A and B are shown apart, each in its own frame.
Chain A
Amino acid sequence: MLEISGLTTRYGGIVAVDDISLSMAEGQAVAIIGANGAGKTSLLRTISGLLRPASGQINFAGTGLTGRPAYGVARQGILMVPEGRQIFGALTVEENLRLGQRAAVARSTAPNAEMNKVFALFPILAERRSQYAGQLSGGQQQMLAIGRALMGRPRLLLLDEPSLGLGPSVVAQVFAALKALHQEGLSMILVEQNARLALEATEFAYVMERGRIVHQGPSVAMRSDPLVIDHYLGQAAGG
């Protein structure tokens, strides 16, 4: 479904994504783990079209995405839940969700059905629908960011550190929702510093270091891989 080959992205002289190739099948959930600064966010931003790659190819369901603007990528069905949530705090919860629909406009859908699905997944959003999104707690904002992406009917969901800055019970809630979505067949790429969580929620995982993929394998195997345990399941696991 997603094929990436030889992808390189730079900020000026800094190489953030260095010759990365990866592929995933439809319905898969893939984790990308790695330390802070490894290039995970840059990789997701390149896939979503926010950053232009210096070289390499991105193909999605038979369509070339390389060099497309971010809104074009979103309309192809790749939707990102960005790092730090980036919800529109000055707009209401409902306005945030309706904005999420824009990506699906070209693929004509029933917006109210989508919104009801999001409310079923995160009932708190239904209660708060006419409040300003900026008044939500961190966990609720993360739910809104995920719900907003779901409104665009993703064929592939990109999640950048959805657990960042959230308490354990909220993290559990968010990840339960992600697992449920995946069980319904949604494909996703999950970027996490919290490797234990990421490996539990996915089937396959890549490890990034300094812009490169240095290790890959089924998530189950990774969980018992001494190298991964050493580097990523030690101190980072608590996070």
Chain B
Amino acid sequence: MFGQELLNGVVVGAVYALFSLGLTLVFGIHRILNLAHGAVFMWGALIGYFAVTGAGLALLPAFILAILGGALVSVALDLLVFRPLRRRQGDEFGTIIVSIGANLVLMHLAQQATNAQTLRFPFGIFPIHFYHLLGLRVSLQQIVIVAAVALLVIALVLYLFRTNLGTDARAVAIDERTSMLLGINPHAVYFGTFAIAGALAGAAGVILGIAFNSVSYLMGEPIMLQAFVVIVLGGLGSVPGALLAGVMLGVIQTLTTVYISSELSDAVVFGLLFVVLLARPRGFFAGLHTEHRVA
């Protein structure tokens, strides 16, 4: 049923968007393409899993722990990997290479921690409940996922546009040197950006881990591929772009899988990316660092 598939696609796409927002934010503000972002996502899911199974926590505290854990891993990446490179005036290409290395390290650690097994949350961790809305079967889980994503995105927008650190971040996105001349400490901005990107990735990790009931050290890889499509389609550095493109991607993927074939779904997605970029080489929206502001 088309409406039902559309709904499922929107829910998955919301999580893609959540994950991609951090990636596009770090790139838009600091020009760092963090290829270890998928590992942060995966560690968020792992932390959530261990919080539930190891520490016996309920879902909500486990979720919050995963968000904090994602933020921590992401900030650690900046402090231990990107910042030393910045201090030696490394270029954008250098940051890409070291983030590939960091990704491997984080994945290896997770492989050890999980014995390379795919882990499953205990049965019934999420209450199974269905509602009938406008002729669609909507699960409680879907409602909670969309609500959580919406809350986190609102928090992100408030941070960027209503706090001093967020304004500083938008200034640094435009021109880091001039920002420093005004007394803005860029280290504080890097900290804020990486913490938020990591928190969003951690949240996305738990959500997807529960939704697909599967957590493994490999789970960060496919979503990175989706996120590339999302941030390029949306316009690098653009918050509304990542949201729109993330949801679109979820919908298109779901519909192709259902109506055409699951093998073709990636081909359709990348083909679509190609076509859109022919028409709009910079994606749907301009990013934070260009002359037009996003709102």
The residue in chain A whose Cβ has the minimal distance to the Cβ of B184 is: A102
Cross-chain contact B171 with A99 (CB below 8 angstroms): yes
Cross-chain contact B181 with A102 (CB below 8 angstroms): no
CA distance A50 to B181 in the complex (A): 8
* Contact of A90 with B180 at beta-carbon distance under 8 Å, contacts A71-B186, A99-B168 already known: no
Cross-chain contact A74 with B182 (CB below 8 angstroms): yes
Cross-chain contact B178 with A82 (CB below 8 angstroms): yes
Cross-chain contact B181 with A99 (CB below 8 angstroms): no
Cross-chain contact A148 with B182 (CB below 8 angstroms): yes
Contacts of B263 in A (CB 8 A): none
Contacts of B179 in A (CB 8 A): 99
Contacts of B183 in A (CB 8 A): 71, 74-75, 102-105, 152
CA distance A233 to B290 in the complex (A): 40
- Give the residues from 151 to 204 in chain B that come closer than 8 angstroms, CB to CB, to chain A: 164, 167-168, 170-171, 174-175, 177-186
Cross-chain contact A98 with B167 (CB below 8 angstroms): yes
Let me know if B293 is at the binding interface, CB within 8 A: yes
Cross-chain contact B174 with A74 (CB below 8 angstroms): no
Let me know if B292 is at the binding interface, CB within 8 A: yes
The residue in chain B whose Cβ has the minimal distance to the Cβ of A78 is: B181
Let me know if A48 is at the binding interface, CB within 8 A: yes
Contacting residue for B181 out of A80, A104, A105, A132, CB 8 A: A80
CA distance A98 to B171 in the complex (A): 11
Let me know if A79 is at the binding interface, CB within 8 A: yes
Contacting residue for A90 out of B168, B178, B181, B292, CB 8 A: B292
Let me know if A5 is at the binding interface, CB within 8 A: no
Cross-chain contact B167 with A90 (CB below 8 angstroms): no
From residue B164, how far is it (CB to closest CB) to chain A in Å?
Answer: 8
The 0/1 profile, CB within 8 Å of A marked 1, for residues 271-295 of chain B is 0000000000000000011111100
The residue in chain A whose Cβ has the minimal distance to the Cβ of B175 is: A86
The residue in chain A whose Cβ has the minimal distance to the Cβ of B292 is: A90
The residue in chain A whose Cβ has the minimal distance to the Cβ of B181 is: A80
CA distance A90 to B289 in the complex (A): 8
- Give the residues from 219 to 272 in chain B that come closer than 8 angstroms, CB to CB, to chain A: none
Contacts of A80 in B (CB 8 A): 181
* Contact of A69 with B180 at beta-carbon distance under 8 Å, contacts A95-B167, A102-B168 already known: yes
From residue A228, how far is it (CB to closest CB) to chain B in Å?
Answer: 30
Seen from chain B, the residues whose Cβ lies within 8 Å of a Cβ on chain A are 164, 167-168, 170-171, 174-175, 177-186, 288-293
6 A-B pairs besides A88-B170, A99-B167 with CB distance below 8 A are: A71-B186, A82-B178, A90-B291, A99-B182, A102-B183, A152-B183
